Structure 1
Amino acid sequence: MRAVLGAALLMIAGGAVAADRADWRRVATKADRARLRRWHDAWVEAMAQVRASEHVGAAVALGALADGDRALADPNLPDGDYRCRTIKLGAKGLTQLRYVAYPFFRCRVSEGGSRLVKLDGSQRIAGRLYADTDARAVFLGTLMLADETRPLAYGRDRARDVVGIVERVAPERWRIAMPYPAYESLLDVMEIVPAG
C-alpha cells in the first residue's frame, strides 16, 4: 500500500512540475512580465504615432492584424511551416520611422505547437509558446542575429529577450504582439500565415 501511495505522490508531484513548466509566469523574467502587463499601452502609443504619420494608410490596410482588440478563440498554432513577417509600429526616438513592414520569411512551429522559430532573415526569433487563455497564448524567446546558429537561452540577455501575446485574428492568420521591444519600435507585430 505504501509503495502505491508513494508512486501516486510521485506522479502528482511530477504533474505539478510539468504544469509549472507550462506556466509562462514561472518562466518569464520580471522585465518581460512588466512588458506584457503594458501591452495595451504599447498598442495605443504605437498606433497613435502611426495615425499621425504618412503611414496611416498602410496601417489601415493591415485590417484585423493592427486591431489590438481583435482576437478569436483558439490561438494555438498547429505544427508546420509558416510565412511570417514583422511590422514595427511607433518609434522610441524622433529620428526613427513610425512604421516599417518587412517581407515574409520562413517560420516553423514544432513540438506539439510549443516551439516557434523564424528560419531566415538577419533577425530571427526562437522560443516557446505557452497556453494562457482561450483567446491568447504567450511567446517567450530570444533574438538571433546575422549568422548565429543557436539562440541564447531565454533570460540571459535582456536586450535579446522577446516576449509577446499570440492571438488568432482570422481562420488561418495569427499575430504575435511584442510590446516595447529592446530596439527601435514601441510595438512589433509578427504576422503568421500558413506556408503555401
Structure 2
Amino acid sequence: MRIPVALAFLSLTACATTPRPTITDWRVVATDDDRERMRDWRTAFTKALDQAQAAGHAADIAREGVLLEPDAALGPVPIPNGRYKCRVIKLGAKSEGMLDYIAYPAFDCRIGQEKELQSFYKLTGSQRHTGLIFASDPLRQAFLGTLVLGDESRAMQYGRDQDRDLAGWVERIGDNRWRLILPYPHFESTLDVVELVPEP
C-alpha cells in the first residue's frame, strides 16, 4: 500500500505525461515548523532528558545506554530496507498531567523503497508514524511524515495538519541498531525516540 504522504512527495507531475524528478532534498519538502524542530533537535533531547531525570527516571535512562545519549550517532551507514522491531520511548511531558517518561513494548515496523527515497511505516500501535526518509549528512538521514491515530486506515497528507506532521532524524547507534528521534512532537512529549532493530 502506498501511503498518501509518499504520494504527496513523489507523484508530482508537470503535466499528464511528463513526470518531474523525485524531490530528494528534505529541506524543499519540510514545512517551516519542521525545519525549526529539526534544527533544534539537540535542545529538545537535553530538555527531555532533564525533565525525565527530574521526575525520577535517571535509572531508566541509564539502562537504555546509547539509545538515549544525544550524541550517539555513528554514521555513515543508512538504515537498510526490511522489517524491524521498533520500540518507542517518550521523554518529557508536554503539559501538566502527562508522564515524563514512558517506554512502550516493541511494535512492528517496515523500511521500504520509494523510488530514490525510503519509506518508514510503524505498522502496529495506537500511534503509527508514517513517512519518508531522505539523505541528509554523513551522520544521519532526515525523516518527514505524519501520525496515524487509532483505527484510522490512511495517513493524512504531510503539511495538511501541523499537529499530525512529524519531523526528525534517523541515526545508526550500533551494529544493526538505529533510532528515529522526533523533537517536539505535537502530542504528549518533548521528544520521542524510536529504537529500530532488524527482525531476525
Q: Do these two structures clear the TM 0.5 threshold for a shared fold by scoring above it? A: yes
Letter in 1 for 2:37: R
Within the candidate set 14, 18, 34, 2:21 is matched to 18
Write out aligned runs for 1:38-49 (5 A).
Answer: 38-49=40-51
Q: Which runs of 5+ in 1 are unaligned?
A: 1-13
Who is 2:196 aligned against? 192
The two structures, once aligned, show a CA RMSD in angstroms of: 1.5
SS at match of 1:62: helix
Q: Following TM superposition, by how much is the alpha carbon of 1:94 offset from its aligned partner in structure 2, in angstroms?
A: 3.0
Who is 2:57 aligned against? 55
- State how far apart, in whole Å, the 2-side matches of 1:54 and 1:39 are: 23
SS at match of 1:36: helix
Letter in 2 for 1:125: H
SS at match of 2:94: coil
Q: Following TM superposition, by how much is the alpha carbon of 1:74 offset from its aligned partner in structure 2, in angstroms?
A: 2.3
- State percent identity of aligned pairs: 46
Write out aligned runs for 1:146-165 (5 A).
Answer: 146-165=150-169
- The structure with the greater share of residues assigned to helix is 1
Runs (4+) off by over 2 Å = none
Letter in 2 for 1:117: Y
Select between 25-34 and 111-120 the one with higher mean Cα deviation.
111-120
- State how far apart, in whole Å, the 2-side matches of 1:133 and 1:75 are: 11
2:102 equivalent to 1:100: yes
Q: Following TM superposition, by how much is the alpha carbon of 1:36 offset from its aligned partner in structure 2, in angstroms?
A: 0.8
Number of residues paired by the alignment?
Answer: 180
Contact 1:42 1:179 in 2 (8 A): yes
Contact 1:89 1:98 in 2 (8 A): yes
Letter in 1 for 2:151: D
- The structure with the greater share of residues assigned to strand is 2
SS at match of 1:61: helix
Greater C-alpha Rg: 1
Who is 2:6 aligned against? none
Write out aligned runs for 1:110-125 (5 A).
Answer: 110-111=112-113, 114-125=118-129
- State how far apart, in whole Å, the 2-side matches of 1:156 and 1:75 are: 32
Q: Which runs of 5+ in 2 are unaligned?
A: 1-17
Q: Deviations over 1:146-193 (max 9, x none)?
A: 111111111111111011111000011111110000011100001100
